[in-house]
A and B are shown apart, each in its own frame.
Chain A
Amino acid sequence: MRRSAVLTAGALAGAVALTGCSGSGAESGTDKAELAVSSSYMPQPVSADMAAGFLTITNEGAAEDTLTSVTSDVAGQVTMHSTVGGAMAEKSSFSIPAHGRLVFRSGGNHLMFEELKRAPKQGQTVAVKLTFATSGPLTVEMPVKSATYNPTTGH
């Protein structure tokens, strides 16, 4: 599976090199996932023991990676969920496709912070560590927004 992805990427790089003008095809020659996190936020929770979190993980690289776990200093446990028609299902991992992204957003996939150690308040940040199958871990300072925050309108 992984090998075939690498082979594909290799073939791709070859093709670019053969036809390239000055060998500047290198920018697409990386065969690793290149992950970055954006648009992270936590709505200030209503509940004393549970909160949701949202973020987007972008993969600029040519290989897929997998988000395997999430941890945070404010929660005893952070779980990952998908939502379909009002029912949420816990998932043990989420794929981040090559040249793609993984989106956690309200109404869809979401992170669930359980066993809260303190009540996150608007204006604070929450440290969140993301662990991947291949890439090194990423740490995000997730801002706590109002309970009604909407990332589309920005308030």
Chain B
Amino acid sequence: MRKKTFAAAALLAAATLTLSACGNGDDDTSPVAVVSGGSGSGKAATVLDQPFAKPDLVLTDTHGKKYDLRKETKGHPTLVYFGYTHCPDICPTTMSNIAVAKKALPKAEQDDLRVVFVTTDPGRDTPAELGKWLKGIDPQFIGLTGDFGKVQAGARALHIAVEPTTKDKNGKLVSMHGTQVIAFSPKTDAGYVLYGELATVDVYTKDLPKLVEGAKP
């Protein structure tokens, strides 16, 4: 079926070619089939009309201590992301982008900002593993691990869907990351801006000075 469509398209292209032929031999008008998984939504930041309440999430930090998200980040500009360390692409890129952008802030604002990475793969991401990984990105970043059910509920409160780590048919562990970073305001403690996977260093560098004040980017 697909082949037929392709053949028809090719014939059509050939017909077009012959009609306009004689002279311009270069057929740079040939259709290019793009095979890729990129999401087409070009916008990196979305300001929410209806902000999210900060999830009531109590987990374990990279020092093995209890960490109450609401209590610890109250009154601080806070970025929250759900990911896992055995993730080659989006998770390290997202956290590295934020880390680089953060360095452009004045020292006091850097210290005020809370960047919280919540693992979706607590089985592999122990406090020690998570700590080692985050230290390579930014030692100030906070890593949280613990019961997956709690993590999933926290993510769901922010409309982020994550599923537990599973084994694929080759017996390899497959985990899932969230596709958004949520920025919480230091004034209201509500999550009011979403950043998608397309958010670059430049986007965060431009927006962080606003976010640390709780202003709209």
A interface, CB within 8 angstroms of B: 1, 4-5, 8, 11-12, 15-16, 19-21, 24, 27-28, 43, 45-47, 50-52, 82-90, 94-97, 99-103, 105-110, 112-113, 147-148, 150, 152-153
Smallest beta-carbon distance B217→chain A, Å: 18
Give Cα A96 to B33, complex, Å: 9
Asked if residues B162 and A86 are in contact (CB atoms below 8 Å), the reply is yes
Question: Could you tell me the distance in whole angstroms from the C-beta of B93 to the nearest C-beta in chain A?
Answer: 6
Identify B96's interface contact among A94, A96, A113, A147, CB under 8 A.
A147
Contact A101 B174 (CB under 8 A): no
Selected contact of B168 from candidates A89, A103, A147, CB within 8 Å? A89
- A46 engages B3 (CB within 8 Å): no
* Between-chain CB contacts (< 8 Å), 12 pairs: A8-B6, A47-B136, A86-B179, A87-B163, A96-B35, A103-B36, A107-B198, A108-B37, A112-B88, A147-B96, A148-B201, A153-B202
Residues of B within 8 A of A153 (CB): 200, 202
Collect the chain A residues with CB atoms within 8 Å of residue B162's CB.
86
Is B50 part of the binding interface, using a Cβ–Cβ cutoff of 8 Å? no
Flag if A106 contacts B36 (CB, 8 Å): no
Q: How far is the CB of B35 from chain A (nearest CB, A)?
A: 5
- Majority secondary structure of chain A interface residues (helix, strand, loop or mixed): mixed
Cα(A28)–Cα(B10), bound, Å: 11
Not counting A100-B33, A107-B197, a sample of 11 additional A-B residue pairs whose C-beta atoms are within 8 angstroms of each other reads A12-B14, A21-B22, A27-B25, A28-B27, A45-B92, A46-B136, A82-B37, A87-B163, A90-B170, A101-B32, A107-B39
**B residues at A contact (CB < 8 Å):** 3, 6-7, 10-11, 14-15, 17-18, 21-23, 25, 27, 30-39, 85-90, 92-93, 95-97, 100, 133, 136-137, 161-163, 168, 170, 172, 174, 176-179, 197-198, 200-202
A43–B174 CB distance below 8 A: no
Set of chain A residues within 8 Å of B35, measured between Cβ atoms = 94-97, 100-103
Chain B at the A interface: SS class? loop
Closest partner residue, chain A, to B18 (CB atom) = A19
How far does the alpha carbon of A20 sit from the alpha carbon of B52 in the complex, in Å? 64
| Given A15-B14, A50-B86, A148-B93: A99 in contact with B32 (beta carbons within 8 A) | yes
Contact of B201 among A12, A84, A87, A150 (CB under 8 A): A150
